């Protein structure tokens, strides 16, 4: 946790917060602060600043907080991601939140097991938790928005063309594709398939919606690896 994220519910006064949950546990076990020490804090969906520890005991910590700077800029990206298996979903959500993705579309595809959609990790609270962990790691405060689409064809035909319009629109595909383009700050839409990739029918539908296939080279990467590599290749902020 490189940033302690705060919400309005934590405030007891305009410049005072009290922590009693996992943030307190992490603070005590990792930061090990003493009275008067300062810690990095951020207001969820707001600014970043510092907090002074003014009271600390086994059950709570009181901090005096102030905010003086903006969070890091978001990536100009909408990420369309075939729903990963639950274990991978947790790591992937944390990674993409840490890298600055703010618009995430989890979609169905032929190779997505139907049971994945019943996972408790798709609950609002579970998704929120993983996104917070990613933000805390990166020192960011702006919470991504996650959209769930359980039907591939209606999404690709009815929504995706509008999302892709006016953007650099790409689909990661290891076959019959162009090399990954040079880094750019231009608005981008990127679609990434499941383990095993999109099937040919799905690739064709994505192309019809305005997306261009790209590849990362001859190696086939797992989704949790491919997504960070793609973002690092596509945006100059990681150069």
72-111, pLDDT tens digit by residue? 999 999 999 999 999 899 999 999 999 999 999 999 999 9
Q: What is the CATH number of domain 77-238?
A: 3.40.1280.10
Average pLDDT over residues 21-39: 93
122-131, pLDDT tens digit by residue? 999 999 999 9
Average pLDDT over residues 118-143: 97
CA distance 66 to 42: 9
Q: What is the pLDDT of residue 219?
A: 84
Q: Check residue 44 and report its DSSP letter.
A: T
pTM: 0.94
Average pLDDT over residues 165-185: 94
CATH superfamily placement of domain 4-69: Hypothetical PUA domain-like; domain 1 (2.40.240.20)
Tokens 């793609």 belong to: 230
Average pLDDT over residues 130-153: 97
CA dist 120 to 112, 116, 124, 214, Å? 16, 9, 9, 33
Average pLDDT over residues 151-175: 96
SS3 of 178-228: the string is: EECCCCCCCCEEEEECCCCCCCHHHHHHHHHCCCEEEECCCCCCCHHHHHH
Residue 195 has pLDDT above 90, yes or no: no
Quick check: 104 and 81 in contact, CB under 8 A?
Answer: yes
CA dist 17 to 28, 31, 62, 132, Å? 16, 17, 6, 18
The total of other beta-carbon atoms located within 10 Å of residue 157's CB is 12
The domain segmentation of the chain, as residue ranges, is: 4-69, 77-238
Half-sphere exposure of 45 (CA within 13 A, CB side): 6
Residue 239 has pLDDT above 80, yes or no: no
Residue 10 has pLDDT above 80, yes or no: yes
Q: What is the pLDDT of residue 220?
A: 82
Nearest partner of 74 among 198, 235, 183, judged by Cα? 235
Quick check: 231 and 185 in contact, CB under 8 A?
Answer: no
Q: What is the pLDDT of residue 73?
A: 96
How many angstroms separate the first and last alpha carbons of the chain? 24
- Higher per-residue pLDDT: 1 or 44: 44
Q: What is the pLDDT of residue 217?
A: 87
């Amino acid at each position: 946790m490189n940033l302690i994220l705060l919400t309005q519910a934590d405030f007891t006064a305009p410049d005072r917060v009290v922590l009693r949950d996992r943030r307190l546990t992490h603070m005590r076990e990792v930061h090990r602060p003493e009275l008067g020490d300062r810690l990095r804090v951020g207001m969820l969906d707001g600014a970043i600043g510092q907090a002074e520890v003014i009271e600390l005991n086994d059950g709570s910590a009181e901090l005096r907080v102030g905010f003086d700077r903006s969070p890091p800029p978001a990536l100009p990206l909408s990420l369309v991601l075939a729903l990963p298996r639950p274990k991978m979903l947790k790591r992937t959500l944390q990674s993409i939140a840490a890298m600055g993705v703010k618009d995430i579309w989890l979609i169905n595809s032929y190779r997505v097991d139907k049971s994945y959609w019943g996972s408790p990790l798709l609950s609002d609270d579970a998704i929120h938790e993983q996104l917070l962990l990613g933000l805390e790691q990166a020192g960011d405060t702006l919470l991504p928005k996650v959209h769930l689409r359980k039907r591939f064809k209606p999404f690709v035909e009815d929504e995706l063309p509008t999302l892709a319009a006016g953007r650099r629109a790409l689909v990661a595909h290891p076959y019959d594709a162009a090399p990954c383009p040079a880094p750019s700050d231009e608005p981008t839409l990127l679609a990434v398939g499941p383990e095993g990739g999109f099937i040919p029918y799905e690739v064709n539908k994505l192309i019809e919606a305005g997306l261009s296939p790209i590849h990362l080279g001859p190696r086939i990467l797992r989704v949790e690896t491919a997504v960070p590599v793609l973002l690092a290749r596509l945006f100059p902020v990681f150069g």
